[in-house]
Structure 1
Amino acid sequence: MAAAASSTGAAEITRKLSEICGPFFARFAGAADEVAGRGARWVAVPGGPAAAAQVLRLAARHELTVVPRGAGTKIDWGAAPARVDIMLDTGRLAGIGHQPVGSPVAEIGAGTPLRAVQATLERTGRRLPLDPPSPGATLGGVLAADEAGPLRHRHGTACEQLVGLRWLDADGELVSAGAGAAEVSAGSASVGLDVGRLLCGSQGGLGVLVSATLRVQAVPASRVWVSRPVWTPLEVHDLVRSVLAARLDPAAIELDLPATGPLPRRPMRPAEAAARAHHPSMAGRGDGQSTTRGGAGTLTVLLEGGPSDVAERAERLVALFAGEATAAHAPPTWWRRYPFAPGDTALRIEVPITDLHAAVYALRDAAGTPVPVRGSAGLGLVHAALPGALPGERVASILAAVRGVLLARRGRCVVVAAPAPVRQAVELWGEPAVIPRLRAAKEHLDPHRRLAPGRLPGGL
């Protein structure tokens, strides 16, 4: 591939990109133009789907690879691509399609910042029921990373809310799935939405997202966050079970377990002792309080709906939390924030909610210290952070221990992002069962491996 580009000449490629995108929207890449540490050669910012298609056709003719980029908020997530010849910036593939007043859906350009979408919809009393933690993310970036926030508990991920999707394949052909598929322009293809959903979480490895059509809903009249302090993962387990059994219809159930400050000494409850005896990953931990350092955590439940209904459910929830709860009309400061910072090794743990506490104990035991954990306790999906200074071999041993515990519980632990030495020393995804399906999708949608090669699990 590189030989073809060299024979054409870098200056010639730049000239052609400038003709397609405009002189101010095509350039040689700079030091900041990288994907998970892999530098690009060119950056192209096409002004619309037709121009983006021309960029992909140019890449195909000259055997160049293409990696899409939205706002870059998650550009270091996942595996580094094998090569990045052209970074295709989707910033100009933006905007909200005209919809009739009261329409239950909205078509949104992939390069549109999600907060701009929400601000526009809120002027008409509507919203997308999406709240991913990346504040500057574009809709395309959220879909490509399959990112979700607290509202996933009730409404699902953005990918689960899709009713239509348009994207460009590796040859620059426009493909439409789901809503509006019968109305696409002549010459474009139409497929089922199940095919379109394969692009969710693909990090640009299966297609370049152009636009998505999603459901919209009225902004809730009232929102109340009910918070309660928690001290142990097992206590969280018991409280989540109680909340779900109470049929309070929560919009979100979120957990924050920090890793700083001493825990107060208190006797271990009988249920906790029984659980530690039952789960090997909890054995030998003493009372879990006086011998372990970690700050008081918080379990927060979001209730949405009409004012009187929300007030009644909030009262019931406060009573359920036995007087240790507080209700507020604003979220806690950690809400919609990841527990990791740039340079950390970021983990995502998914496990049935009945075993989330076992997964957190296993992570603490393997790390030898409390690890900050935050996420959707009501779904068994949380993120955790390991210090970026940990050697790759040490991270690998922690992952092996945690994945061993999760294997028997139908769970998984994925490395979301990590420093380069750690990335090279560990298997980011473990052994995902989706590899055969992804391989088939890659061979069908990008047989020449021109789109973000190596970004998908299994090196696809």
Structure 2
Amino acid sequence: MRAPGDLVLGELSATAAAWPAGEADHVDGVPARLVAAPSTTDEAAAVMRIAAQHGLAVVPRGTGTKLTWGRPPERADLVLDTRRMDRIVEHRAGDLVVHVQAGARLGAAQEHLAPAGQRLGISPVLTPGAGPGTAGGVIATAATGPLRLSHGAVRDLLIGITLVRADGTVAKAGGKVVKNVAGYDLGKLLTGSWGTLGLVTEAVFRLHPLPRAARWVVVGVASAADTHDKVQRVVHSQVVASALELDRPAGDPAALAVLVEGIPEGVDGRVRTLVDLLGGDATAADEPPAWWCHAPWAAGEVALRLTHEIAGLPRLLDAVDDTARRCGLRAAVRGSAGVGVLHAGIPADPGAVPAFVARLRELSPSWSGDVVVLDAPPRVKTALDVWGPVRGLTLMRRVKDQFDPARLMAPGRFAGGI
């Protein structure tokens, strides 16, 4: 007689590619039992129905670049790998819309769109040794980067979505034209849900024209106050920057970099205006600085996301510096100061990190933001509430109960144990 696991594997294999999980399939240290890799929404729905029938906890996975972010799931019976769902389903260039499967890699999608003079305005921050990930991954984690200033967040670009619920039911919302906003709230709800509400299998995004020219203006900043002053100059100017990024390496000089895009003549004029506006050592370049779009942490360090109101930027930066000194840590900060989303990297000192995080959270009301530990080695993560205080947690739990009453989708991975 076959073991129950063999029986489930047999059922899964009859609907999609499936195999026993190995050590490489563990989810943030939690062992997985099985892996299934559907290639279509119908196959994914069949896999989810089998998982629900057997009470299997499901953790969606794309390229796995952010699979250790957040809390470890309570269990990971089945890893649902989306990488075989990698098609560009439809590109409607005239409508500035692209329809992709969830496993489509962002890099491949951009290459497909470029000949039509278009792009998807998502530029996720790259973690050490990893690429930009998949369409489903950026929806699940709401991961954005420099282009958020000009193109908006992931949820602003998502106009249609296909979801498979925990019981295998397929739900669709939105459409394939920018004017169609029916069901758009479902897309917003799923963006940043970390795979805890269901499996995204397809998505429709609105696109932007690919600019003919791009240049960067880089200027040094001497202090938190100087940083804030220069950020304010840029965001309140007529330059219309595409991106505004801050780099504050631990112990090294800090800098702001501004991306200006458009037609060559217009870009050149705006760059000259920007250099004059920022003054000092501001210089223009045809290539981004080496740190552009890269996370500020090294492999094995603690990764944090720090959000803030634009006016609260100097208070946040001063608090990071002061708290790092108090805790004996070196903190590198980098990110989109123009939209209030920064990232930080600190050494993984089990004795100092909890105190660093606790003090920043205590001070965070002064800059109206949150402090989230995205990733950390297990010895550090176990001593932390990685999500911290979360507004609207009661409502979030009600939504979880509606979408996944049996708690089968990545249980415990999100805030409040959702």
The answer, yes or no, to whether TM exceeds 0.5 is: yes
| Aligned-partner SS, 2:55 | coil
Q: Deviations over 1:295-345 (max 9, x none)?
A: 111100001111111111100111112241111111111001000122111
Structure 1, unmatched stretches of 5+, are: 1-5, 182-189, 260-293
Q: Does 1:145 align with 2:141?
A: yes
* 1:411-459: CA deviation from partner (whole Å, max 9, x where unpaired): 1110011111221111111111031221111000000001100011000
2 CA distance for matches of 1:101 and 1:236? 40
Q: Does 1:413 align with 2:371?
A: yes
Aligned residue in 2 for 1:372: 332
Task: Provide TM-score, normalisation by structure 2.
Answer: 0.94
The equivalences for 1:356-367 within 5 A come to 356-367=313-324
The residue number in structure 1 matching 2:96 is: 104
Secondary structure at the residue paired with 2:398? helix
Aligned residues: 408
Structure 2 counterpart of 1:299, which letter? L
**8 Å contact 2:125–2:293 — kept in the other structure?**
yes
Distance 1:419 1:191, change over 3 A: farther
Counterpart for residue 284 of structure 1: none
CA distance in 1 between counterparts of 2:99 and 2:233 reads: 39
Q: What does residue 94 of structure 1 align with?
A: 86
RMSD: 1.8
Checking the alignment, whether the CA contact within 8 Å between 2:175 and 2:182 is kept in structure 1 is: no
For the 8 Å contact 1:176–1:191, the answer to whether it is kept is: no
- Pair 1:117-2:77 in alignment: no
Partners of 2:323 and 2:360 within 8 A in 1: yes
How much does 1:220 deviate? 0.4
For 2:273 and 2:102, the matched residues in 1 are separated by 41
Does the 8 Å CA contact 1:68/1:208 hold for their aligned counterparts?
yes
Corresponding residue for 1:268? none
Checking the alignment, whether the CA contact within 8 Å between 2:123 and 2:132 is kept in structure 1 is: no
Query: Partner of 1:385 in structure 2?
Result: 345
The change in CA–CA distance for 1:100 and 1:410 in structure 2 (over 3 A counts) is closer
Could you say what secondary structure the match of 2:50 adopts? Answer: helix
Are residues 1:172 and 2:168 paired?
yes
Q: Distance in 2 between matches of 1:197 and 1:39?
A: 31
> Partners of 1:16 and 1:191 in 2: how far apart?
36
Change in Cα spacing, 1:126 to 1:442, as seen in structure 2 (3 Å) is: same
In the alignment, which residue of structure 1 is the partner of 2:230?
239
User: What is aligned with 1:18?
Assistant: 13
Asked whether the equivalents of residues 296 and 343 of structure 2 are also in contact (C-alpha less than 8 Å), the reply is yes
Q: Distance in 2 between matches of 1:119 and 1:180?
A: 20
Aligned AA (2:344): A
Once the two structures are TM-superposed, the CA of residue 9 in structure 1 deviates from its matched residue by 1.0
Q: Work out whether 1:306 is the aligned partner of 2:249.
A: no
Q: Which amino acid aligns with 2:53?
A: R
Partner of 1:258: 249
Whichever residue aligns with residue 386 of structure 1, its letter is I
- Residues 237-294 of structure 1: CA deviation (Å, up to 9, x unaligned): 11111112222111110011101xxxxxxxxxxxxxxxxxxxxxxxxxxxxxxxxxx1
Q: Distance in 2 between matches of 1:191 and 1:110?
A: 21
- Which residue of 421, 432, 444 corresponds with 2:402? 444
Length-normalised TM-score, structure 1:
0.86
- Provide the C-alpha distance between the structure 1 equivalents of 2:152 and 2:3, rounded to a whole number of angstroms: 47
Contact residue 71 and residue 136 of structure 1 kept, 8 A: no
> Which letter maps to 1:447?
P
The separation in 2 between residues aligned to 1:29 and 1:315, in whole angstroms, is 56
In the TM superposition, residue 232 of structure 1 has moved relative to its aligned partner by 1.8
Using the TM superposition, give the Cα deviation of residue 13 of structure 1 relative to its aligned residue in structure 2, in angstroms. 1.2
Between 1:30-39 and 1:218-227, the stretch displaced more is 30-39
Distance 2:237 2:205 in 1: 31
1: distance between equivalents of 2:132 and 2:90? 23
2:70 to 56, 75, 78: 78
Q: Could you tell me which residue of structure 1 aligns to residue 302 of structure 2?
A: 345
Residue equivalent to 1:28? 20
Contact 2:215-2:285 within 8 A present in 1 as well: yes
- Tell whether the 8 Å contact from 2:315 to 2:366 is kept in structure 1 after alignment: no
CA change 1:103–1:236 in 2 (3 A) is: same
Instruction: Give the direction of change, closer, same or farther, for the CA distance of 1:180–1:313 in structure 2 (3 Å limit).
Output: closer
1:167 offset after TM fit, Å? 0.9
Aligned partner (choices 427, 438, 442) of residue 385 of structure 2: 427
Paired residue type of 1:456: F
SS in 1 for 2:88: coil
Note if contact 1:26-1:44 (Cα within 8 Å) is conserved in structure 2: yes
Alignment correspondent of 1:325: 282
Q: Which letter does structure 1 place at the counterpart of 2:379?
A: P
Q: Measure the CA separation in 1 of the matches of 2:314 and 2:330.
A: 13
Which amino acid in the other structure matches residue 10 of structure 2? Answer: R
Deviations 1:151-195 (Å, cap 9, x if unpaired)? Answer: 0011112222111111100111111111159xxxxxxxx972212
- Paired with 1:316 and 1:403, the residues of 2 have a C-alpha distance of 39
Secondary structure in 2 matching 1:32: helix
Contact 2:330 / 2:347 at 8 angstroms: preserved in 1?
A: no
* 2:313–2:367 CA contact under 8 A, matched in 1: no
Q: Which amino acid aligns with 2:363?
A: V
- CA distance in 2 between partners of 1:91 and 1:48 (Å): 11
Percent identical residues:
40
Q: Distance in 1 between matches of 2:63 and 2:268?
A: 38
2:150 corresponds to 1:154: yes
1:38 positional shift = 1.3
Select 2:217's aligned residue among 226, 237, 250.
226
Partner deviation per Cα, 1:191-246 (whole Å, 9 max, x = no partner): 72212321111111001011111111221011110001123222111111111222
What SS does the corresponding residue of 2:99 show, helix, strand or coil? strand
CA separation in 1, counterparts of 2:74 and 2:2? 21
The 1-side partners of 2:132 and 2:32 are apart by 22
- For residues 285-296 of structure 1, the aligned pairs below 5 Å read 294-296=251-253
Cα distance in structure 1, aligned partners of 2:189 and 2:90: 27
Q: Distance in 1 between matches of 2:93 and 2:362?
A: 52
